[in-house]
Amino acid sequence: MKKNGKKVRRKIRISGIILIILVIYLVAMCGYYLFTVKIKSINVKGLNYLTENEVLTSADIDLDTSIFKVLTSSAKKKIEKLPLVKNAKVHINFDGEVVIEIEENKILFLNALDNKIVLEKGKTIANKDYKGVPILVNYVKSEAYDNLVEALGKIDRDILYMISEIEYKPDEYNGLILDEERFLLRMNDGNLVFINNVNIEKLNKYQSIYASVGSGGVLYLDSNSDNYIFNIYTEDGNVTEQSGEINDEN
């Protein structure tokens, strides 16, 4: 019986050693895989003005990088050092795909006076010839300027893309300034829009208003009422006026 018992214990020890060797082999193979397997694909999401190359260069990632070398937390911090990046997320899928999700700071306008790009909350960065950026063409009084920056931060990106130029144009009558925070917007569709900082969120309804009035006229959104006025001026001096209500359906 003792002899048989020794044989059983010996068999158990051998099977245990084999199991340990197998585990070590699997761990070694996983390590080898992580060290040598390259990234299969890279998917960068959320880009508006930044290019994919700018993001990947900042993160030091390309298709020749091994998956093991991609430290997601480190890549995130590197990407967020880009002035236009508000927030970044980096993760790796099991199939070897690196996914980078970018939230860009909103570009409000290019200040033509100093050739600086103005971001939401008033941060400025160097101009890199970003396309589709509204241009602020003239000087704005400090308080009106600060209020403009704050107000434009509430405007949808798609609407900002539709603005070509922003001109500071206070409302005056007989030498008296009636509204110090009034602006004239030249839209890419050919319309002119009068707006002020108090009512600037009405711009978020611009696309639906445009669907009703078309192009080639002057849109007045600087009134405190819920109505808009759209005037079309003809060559003979006549004016065709349209009006409507700004509501949730517009």
Q: What's the chain's average pLDDT? A: 88
What was the pLDDT predicted at 50? 93
Tell me, yes or no, whether 17 lies in a domain: no
Percent of the chain whose pLDDT exceeds 70: 90
Tell me, yes or no, whether 211 lies in a domain: yes
Q: What is the CATH number of the domain that holds 85?
A: 3.10.20.310
R_g of the chain, CA atoms, integer Å: 30
What was the pLDDT predicted at 250? 46
- CA distance to 90, 133, 140, 164, per residue, from 55 (Å): 11, 20, 34, 27
Range of the domain at 46: 41-104
Percent of the chain whose pLDDT exceeds 90: 59
126 and 186 assigned to the same domain: yes
Residues 102-123 pLDDT 10s? 999 999 999 999 999 999 989 9
Residues 165-202 pLDDT 10s? 999 999 988 888 888 999 999 999 999 999 999 999 99
What was the pLDDT predicted at 71? 83
Is the pLDDT at 140 greater than 90? The verdict is yes
Predicted TM-score (pTM) of this structure: 0.79
| Dihedral sign of CA atoms 174, 176, 179, 182 in order | positive
What was the pLDDT predicted at 11? 53
Q: What is the CATH number of the domain that holds 159?
A: 3.40.50
112 and 193 assigned to the same domain: yes
Under the banding of pLDDT at 50, 70 and 90, the label for residue 127 is: very high
Q: For the range 105-111, what are the long-range contacts, defined as Cβ-Cβ under 8 Å and sequence gap of 24 or more?
A: 106/153, 106/157, 106/160, 107/48, 107/49, 107/133, 107/160, 108/134, 108/149, 108/152, 108/153, 108/160, 109/133, 109/134, 109/135, 109/136, 109/152, 109/163, 109/166, 110/134, 110/135, 110/136, 111/136
| Helices assigned H by DSSP within the chain | 2-36, 52-59, 72-79, 142-152, 157-160, 206-213
224 and 111 assigned to the same domain: yes
Instruction: Give me the mean pLDDT over the 68-92 stretch.
Output: 91
* 48 vs 25, higher pLDDT: 48
Tell me, yes or no, whether 30 lies in a domain: no
Number of structural domains (the chain) is 2
What was the pLDDT predicted at 92? 87
Tell me, yes or no, whether 122 lies in a domain: yes
Residues 26-78 pLDDT 10s? 877 776 666 667 788 999 999 999 999 999 999 998 888 777 777 889 999 99
